[in-house]
Amino acid sequence: MVNTENKPGTSIRFRFVRVIAIVLAIGTVLLSVIIGTYEKKALRESLREDGQSLAHFIAKLGKEALVAQDTVILDSIAHDAHKEDIAYTLVYDIQGNLLTSQYASLNYRSPIINNILATLPREIDLPEIINHLKRKRHILEISSPVVVDITHVGNVVVGMSEHVIRRQILTTILFIVAVNLSVISVLGGVLFSVSRKILFDPISALSESTTQLARGDLSVRVNIPASGELKTLLANFNHMVADLKKAEDDRIKLEEQLRHSQKLESVGRLAGGVAHDFNNKLTVILGYAELAGRIQADNPNLAGYLREIARAAEHSRDITAQLLAFSRQQIASPKPVAINQIIMEAGKSLPRLIGEDITFNFVPGEGLWIVKIDPVQLDQIIINLAVNARDAMPDGGAFSITTANVSIDRLSYLLKNPDARHGDYVEIVFSDSGTGMDQEVMKHIFEPFYTTKGVGKGTGLGLATIYGIVTQNNGFISVDSKPGLGTVFRIYLPTHSGGYIVEVPQAEQNQTGRGVVLLVEDEEMVRQMTGHMLEEMGYVVKEAATPREAIQIASNPQTPLDVVLTDVVMPEMNGAQLMRIIHGKRPELQVLYMSGYTSDLIARKGIIQDGVNFIQKPFDMKTLNDKLSQAIKLQGGGFPGSDQAKLLK
Amino acid sequence: MPIAARYRFIAVTCFLSLIIAGEARAEKKIGAFLFSSETRYEVAYRGFRDQLAEEGFKEPGTTFSLYNANGNKATASELVNKLAAAKMDLYFTAGTSASVALSRAIKDMPIVFSVVYDPVKAGIADSWENSGNNTTGTSTRVPMTKIMEALKKLKNVKKLAVLYSPGELNSEQLVRDLKDVQQEFGFKVLPVPLTKIEEFPAILPEVMRTSDAVYVTGSNLVDSQIGYIVEQARKNRVVTLTHLEDLVEKGVLFCVSIDTYQIGRLAGAKAARILRGAKPSSIRIESPPTYSIHLNVKTATMSQIPIPPEFMAIVRKKIQ
């Protein structure tokens, strides 16, 4: 939980003021105590001196009256001596008799006298009042002898009231407090004002900004003058928020891309599912069209119709193939290739494809690393991007392909491209000077059936296919484009550490074959059509509608078999499982898998594993024959089952 | 009667008549000095003039110049100097302060004082019989025993406070007189010295709380606060007494006093003797022989002080 609000009294401003106030209050108290103690001592001493002077003066002034026992004069002297800090003045004769009267002796203007008298009974006499005062009140009593010549004739006693001291100390303390308060007010005001400018305002602004930040506002910035560490802090905060904003923007962008990828993934899965059934049906259509064409070759009209059927079916197959390619489920047989060589080969036919008003330029990178990819897929990429470039440059322009080795190791690059991974790649850059794209278009270009071309001019699968192929081959793709500034596609394909094989083109073969084929296919129409094809080509066919039936056939050692042609996805068990059982009994038996789409059963992410024979549905007789022939050759360099085939035939 | 004897008789008679007429007709200047406008001073001055007039010393043959200091000491000092310079034939004073001041300033001309409580203790005269200087006069002094006897008839007092002003000799002497009789009458005198007005509110409540009766002396300061004194006494039901009749009219419960007018007349008689050639020192200082008791009935009522019949019997004047 984010604490976004300060409770009253918890702000640093308030606490600062409180601490200052407490420190000053303690300081004031200590100062008051220290000064009060010293002042009390000094005032007591001063009071004592005053008392002594007064007692001495009264003794001197009243000695004649004392000798004459004139109490009226003594009363007058005692009374006249009264000042505020005197509680009483007493004159005694040498015998200790008190000569002054109560009202003359007591200073009724002293608050302590009136206070104490109010509590005493009216009958109480002066000596008792004096004793009471000395017991209850702070009285400093000073005595001075009355001496006439050298004769001691009596004593003057002066009672000094310490309440004056207390009041003086209180006044001093009040003065200290007042001065301190004034100083505190002035200094505190200045300190607070200065602190507010250099400390509190930046901290408050920072606090408010962090609150806004905690609430998710990444646009917040602290724009307040500061200096020293606070300046650095605020600058770092702003920088941090800017980084957060950038990271947040990147995250949003990545999420967008992730959603886009997931969307493509789901579309791909849907396409894969559709393609399975669709290719089975196309296999039957194409197969029978081809077979029918063989039979009715002499009827030109019928042959034409059959060719149209075949063309339509082939076109449908291509669409399915592209869908599969986009969904990374196209059956591919990657091999180590030299990219430059393939581009160069493909480049020969590109001028025809893109037209004469577009100049094509290929800049091959030197020492280019080897890449493992199905060359057919690479051709698809080149052709699709060339066609796109052409369509983007209706009035001509330039189209170029460059290749280079790159090592992806920068985090920033990886963050921008969610598909990217660390590693070494061959970069193939396709640049055109065409119309370019805006951001909205770029968001959708890899979606299947998304096209900006006119109706009938594009399937909307070109870039989706490229995307599928690249990701199927563990690569990734990026696009840079702006309206009017052309488009650059960068395709990154991971390098292959091994060498590559230069393929020798095979001699044209007849569409005839020999051998016994165990055909395993749960789709009856496909099975029947394939059986017809095989027989038409000269093969002996043993059909099995289910894997169980196939096992039964293969289990009989008397049954001659050269190769197993089996569907991959079947009820009960898949093709691979079937072959493990059959190989348990007849390990020498070769197998050719056929499937309308790939699955992890025989391929991982659509890539056929090395040593696996596979034929993509739908297929024509020639391809089927080629694949079967290769498989049978692998079994023993000839047609080991030919005798049995003949027998069966 | 033979003619010669007849002419001689006529001549002598005429001569004597001329002497008497000349004496009466001779212009006399009398300067009167009052310290303040206290009633008793003015009453005394009136008695003085009336007596002189009866004895033939009246305007226009005799001129009177009245100087009143209105209670101000500085003014008093100024007036004293003025009077000394004026060279009067005779000076009249009322009140101890005025008398002391003038007697100290003028030594060569006769001074007749009045309303002085104790001229000897005040330092004006050497003795009551013979002043020993240029002064003589009359006193307000009532024998203290007379006052205390009256008080005893009114209330049995144990503590008697005396409001006085230190420095005012008249006031101080009264305290001594009271102390002299305290043992005889069985009470204790509590002198209350008062020198400043602000002392009254500080001390009087406590005085009233602790005393049975309060004696009000005739000092100028005490006179100025008589209203407050009366108020506190009434509030605390305390008996107040004095020897000055004008203070009873201002609220003091009772007084045993000499008629101030008679004091003035007696002073006038002494002045006439001096004007006729007598030496002041040869004229005895004295008080009129009659005393009277005045009671302030209003104060008695307000203080709820019961007045015994034996006291009422001796009261000469009731002030409502």
Q: Scanning the structure block, which residue is given the tokens 């009827």? A: A299
| pLDDT for residue A448 | 67
Task: Enumerate the β-bridge partners of residue B191.
Answer: B162
pLDDT band at A641 (very low <50, low <70, confident <90, very high): very low
Residue B222 three-state SS: helix
Q: In sequence order, what DSSP letters do the residues of A166-189 get, joined into one string?
A: HHHHHHHHHHHHHHHHHHHHHHHH
* A560 close to A647: Cβ distance less than 8 angstroms: yes
CB contact under 8 A, B209 and A75: no
pLDDT band at B276 (very low <50, low <70, confident <90, very high): very high
Residue A224 main-chain phi, psi, to 5 deg: -140, 140
| pLDDT for residue A373 | 87
Q: Which residue has the higher pLDDT, A44 or A192?
A: A44
pLDDT in tens, A518-531: 999 988 889 999 99
Q: Scanning the structure block, which residue is given the tokens 């409540």? A: B205
pLDDT band at A427 (very low <50, low <70, confident <90, very high): very high
Mean pLDDT for the stretch of residues A261-290: 78
pLDDT in tens, A211-235: 888 888 888 888 888 888 888 888 8
Q: Scanning the structure block, which residue is given the tokens 């003085």? A: B48
What's the sign of the alpha-carbon dihedral B269, B274, B279, B280?
Answer: positive
| pLDDT for residue B29 | 93
* B299 close to B319: Cβ distance less than 8 angstroms: no
Answer whether B179 touches A (CB < 8 Å).
yes
Pairing of strands A423-432, A487-494: antiparallel
Residue A547 three-state SS: helix
Residue A202 three-state SS: helix
* Among the listed residues A11, A367, A394, the one whose alpha carbon sits nearest the alpha carbon of residue A207: A11
**In chain B, pLDDT over 70 holds for what percent of residues?**
92
**pLDDT score of A508 more than 60:** no
* A93 close to A82: Cβ distance less than 8 angstroms: no
| pLDDT for residue A82 | 85
Q: Among residues 200-229 of chain B, which lie with CB inside 8 Å of chain A?
A: 202-203, 206-207, 209-210
* A82 close to A102: Cβ distance less than 8 angstroms: no
pLDDT band at B53 (very low <50, low <70, confident <90, very high): very high
Q: How far apart are CA A480 and CA A439, in angstroms?
A: 10
Q: How far apart are CA B186 and CA B188, in angstroms?
A: 7
Q: Which residue has the higher pLDDT, B220 or B266?
A: B266
In angstroms, the separation between the Cα of residue B182 and the nearest Cα of chain A is 14
pLDDT in tens, A34-76: 888 888 888 888 888 988 999 999 998 888 888 888 888 999 8
Q: How far apart are CA A84 and CA B166, in angstroms?
A: 19
Answer whether B191 touches A (CB < 8 Å).
yes
In angstroms, the separation between the Cα of residue A104 and the nearest Cα of chain B is 6
- Give the mutation candidate from A71, A72, A129 for the B interface (greatest B CB count, under 10 A): A72
First vs last Cα of chain B: how many Å apart?
A: 67
What's the sign of the alpha-carbon dihedral A623, A625, A631, A633?
Answer: negative
Least confident range from A227-241, B42-56, B296-310: namely: A227-241
| pLDDT for residue B22 | 42
| pLDDT for residue A599 | 52
Q: Among residues 239-298 of chain B, which lie with CB inside 8 Å of chain A?
A: none
* A146 close to A96: Cβ distance less than 8 angstroms: no
Tell me the two tokens of residue A16. 């600062």
In angstroms, the separation between the Cα of residue B28 and the nearest Cα of chain A is 42
* B200 close to B194: Cβ distance less than 8 angstroms: yes
Mean pLDDT for the stretch of residues B196-200: 90
pLDDT mean across residues, chain B: 88
| pLDDT for residue A388 | 85
Q: How far apart are CA A617 and CA A594, in angstroms?
A: 6
* Among the listed residues B94, B244, B116, the one whose alpha carbon sits nearest the alpha carbon of residue B169: B116
Pairing of strands A607-608, A603-604: antiparallel
| pLDDT for residue A246 | 87
Q: Among residues 158-177 of chain B, which lie with CB inside 8 Å of chain A?
A: 161, 166-167, 172, 175-176
Mean pLDDT for the stretch of residues A566-595: 87
Residues A61-66: contacts with CB under 8 Å, at least 24 apart: A62/A91, A62/A146, A62/A156, A63/A146, A63/A147, A63/A148, A63/A153, A66/A91, A66/A93, A66/A99, A66/A146, A66/A148, A66/A153, A66/A154
| pLDDT for residue B52 | 95
pLDDT in tens, B130-149: 999 999 999 988 889 999 99
Indicate the residue type of A486: G
Mean pLDDT for the stretch of residues A536-550: 91
Q: Kindly tell me the burial class for residue B35, based on how many C-beta atoms sit within 10 Å of its own C-beta (0-12, 13-18, 19 or more).
A: buried
| pLDDT for residue A460 | 64
Task: Enumerate the β-bridge partners of residue A427.
Answer: A404, A492
Q: How far apart are CA B319 and CA B297, in angstroms?
A: 6
CB contact under 8 A, B199 and A73: no
CB contact under 8 A, A72 and B175: yes
* Among the listed residues A402, A404, A429, the one whose alpha carbon sits nearest the alpha carbon of residue A344: A402
CB contact under 8 A, B191 and A104: yes
| pLDDT for residue B5 | 52
Residue A512 three-state SS: coil
* B276 close to B300: Cβ distance less than 8 angstroms: no
pLDDT band at A648 (very low <50, low <70, confident <90, very high): very low
pLDDT mean across residues, chain A: 81
Highest mean pLDDT among A62-66, A250-254, A307-311, B31-35: B31-35
**pLDDT score of A517 more than 60:** yes
Please report residues of A whose CB lies closer than 8 A to that of B203. Answer: 103, 108
The beta-carbon neighbor of A80 closest among B161, B166, B191 is B166
Q: How far apart are CA A472 and CA B179, in angstroms?
A: 138
Q: How far apart are CA B100 and CA B91, in angstroms?
A: 13
**pLDDT score of B15 more than 80:** no
H or E element in which residue A565 lies: strand A563-567
- Give the mutation candidate from B165, B175, B210 for the A interface (greatest A CB count, under 10 A): B210
| pLDDT for residue A504 | 47
The beta-carbon neighbor of A101 closest among B191, B195, B203 is B191
Mean pLDDT for the stretch of residues A257-279: 74
pLDDT in tens, A314-368: 878 777 777 776 666 666 677 888 899 888 888 887 888 888 888 888 999 998 9
Q: Report CA-CA distances (Å) from B27 to A62, B32, B54, B275.
A: 50, 16, 16, 11
pLDDT in tens, B85-96: 988 999 999 988
Q: How far apart are CA A629 and CA A624, in angstroms?
A: 8
| pLDDT for residue A568 | 84
Q: How many CB pairs under 8 A join A and B?
A: 50
Q: Which residue has the higher pLDDT, A552 or A637?
A: A552
| pLDDT for residue A639 | 39
Tell me the two tokens of residue A204. 């408050």
The answer, as to whether pTM is greater than 0.80, is: no
Q: How far apart are CA A141 and CA B237, in angstroms?
A: 37
Q: Kindly tell me the burial class for residue A137, based on how many C-beta atoms sit within 10 Å of its own C-beta (0-12, 13-18, 19 or more).
A: middle
Q: How far apart are CA A199 and CA A227, in angstroms?
A: 9
* Among the listed residues A130, A102, A105, A101, the one whose alpha carbon sits nearest the alpha carbon of residue A116: A130
* Among the listed residues B235, B223, B246, the one whose alpha carbon sits nearest the alpha carbon of residue B296: B246
* A416 close to A250: Cβ distance less than 8 angstroms: yes
First vs last Cα of chain A: how many Å apart?
A: 82
Least confident range from A311-325, A419-433, B187-201: namely: A311-325
| pLDDT for residue A8 | 57
Residue B149 three-state SS: helix
Mean pLDDT for the stretch of residues A132-151: 86
Please report residues of A whose CB lies closer than 8 A to that of B198. Answer: 109
Q: How far apart are CA A144 and CA A138, in angstroms?
A: 20
Phi-psi region of A393 (alpha: psi -120 to 50; beta: other; left: phi over 0): beta
